[in-house]
A and B are shown apart, each in its own frame.
Chain A
Amino acid sequence: MPNVDLAETSVRELNAALHKLGKDTNETLWSIANPAGEHSIAVGIDAPITVNIAGNVGYFCGGMNKYANIVIDGSAGQGVGENMMSGRIHVKGDASQSAGATGRGGLLLVEGNASARCGISMKGIDIVVKGDIGHLSAFMGQNGRLVVFGEAGEALGDSIYEAHIYVRGPVASLGADCIEKEMRDEHKAELGELLKAAGEIHKVDVSEFRRYGSARKLYNFNIDNAGAY
């Protein structure tokens, strides 16, 4: 059960130690003290471990994560969980912009608010934000699900591909080619699964959410336009 104090150990040393862990490691519970807003903490983990971080972190925390369960007992700077592949990142405070950017898998759970560009270019990650999200969230989202308990800022889902968006509160505006869609039973079931994964099932009512997604007019090849290419 390693304890790492970032007041004494550098982030580089911490990350090197984490990168050495094999998939069958016995060192499965790590505690990180004094993160003090440093960047790139616990980036690139490739092992099924739990990392508890006591405090606020800077940019890119948990980036490229694979398998690990990372708990941030504080707020996270830009790009938390960017390009994560699998595993789970739980931010107990707020997340800055570009949370979960380009993420391919796993779950990013934010207890507070996430700011601009949450889930930008998401490619399979699931993101659950219990507060509000800022403008241009899920921009060019290709795959994965974004769930927001609060409000969404301007231009939600601009130029979106096939990511699914569920928002409970008001949406300031929808971006290009993003439309509200009917909430069918399959979507309620999908949302229920996400709430379960986030530990929020039975606490919030899936019928309070509205669904948004692509109108598929911007990115689809249209045969009628073939002559124009």
Chain B
Amino acid sequence: MCGIAGLFIKDPKLEPRLGELLAKMTSTLCSRGPDSAGFAIYGHGKTGQTKLTIAGSTAEVDIARAAKLLVEAIGGGQVSVRHSHAVVTLKTEDVPRAEAWLAKNLPDVTIMSEGQRLEIYKEVGFPDDVAREFDIAKMSGTHGISHTRMATESAVTTNGAHPFSTATDQCLVHNGSLSNHASLRRELRREGIKIRTENDTEVAAGYLTRQMKNGQTLSEALKSSLDDLDGFFTFVVGTETGFGVLRDPIACKPAVMAETDEYVAFGSEYKTLTCLPGIKTARVWEPKPATVYFWEHA
């Protein structure tokens, strides 16, 4: 099972409603993934500044305190706490120093995402509860992706929940299951790609990171994943300006898309899309297998 929702807004008038619509869409997917849920929100950012979204790997971590310590150590930055996560906004040039400081001093703190605009919130629990705790409905932005998880390949933990960050301002969610993740994880770790969990999707995220490090575009990296990833998958990816979809060649994991002048939307089921404005007259279709779809803001 597992469920995916994605919303890419074309008409800026709809941007204040991104969180509200994404939370409603995700609510229809609770039964597909009752174990945990996650949201990737592309909000507004400033050039030269980077947002680090951090969370504790256990419930015992006081994330507000951790964020405060980090800002003090780096010597500047703003903190905004949302439930179990904190967004720390730093000067972009301070990010490597902040990451090194966290790894050394607060190993129980995980960086969920890093980017000018991307924030990732994910937690164990029933998706409606997770959305409420993070107050997703109040968030605005240009695009967002969410995931509800029914765990198959690894434990039900915060770090095992989706979305996974693949690189700066990039994230991935996955419905399916990969069978060659163990060997691929070893290969990626040897090449220096950081993979924290035994989760198969994190390996797919790491794989995309490696391919792009080696010079491929996201679209090329997705295409090569069709050869290198063994298993079944529907992927939805987010970038700073865009939103992409890929299904494996067999395409047994469901996917429905809708497009109007206001938005492009993805849902695991049609009912995920029913809350969207103008859905009754939207163009609705199923993405084809082994075909990369991508929408981007100019």
Contacts and interface: CB of A to CB of B under 8 A. Distances in A.
A56 interface: yes
A37 B274 contact: yes
A77 B284 CA distance: 12
A177 interface: no
B289 to A, nearest CB: 7
A135 interface: yes
B184 interface: no
Interface in A98-120: 115-116
A38 B269 CA distance: 9
A58 B271 contact: yes
Nearest to A95: B286
Contact of A75 (B250, B251, B284): B284
A114 to B, nearest CB: 10
A219 B79 CA distance: 67
A36 B284 contact: no
Interface residues of A, number: 19
Contacts of A93: 284
Interface string B248-262: 001110101000000
A-side interface mostly:
loop
Size bracket, chain B contacts? 10 to 19
Contact of A94 (B252, B272, B274, B285): B285
Interface of A: 36-38, 55-56, 58-59, 75, 77-78, 93-94, 96-97, 115-116, 134-136
A159 to B, nearest CB: 15
Contacts of A96: 254, 256, 286
B289 A77 contact: no
Contact of B269 (A77, A134, A136): A77
Given A36-B271, A58-B270, A78 B254 contact: yes
A94 B286 contact: yes
A79 to B, nearest CB: 11
Contact of B270 (A56, A97, A135): A56
Contacts of B285: 94
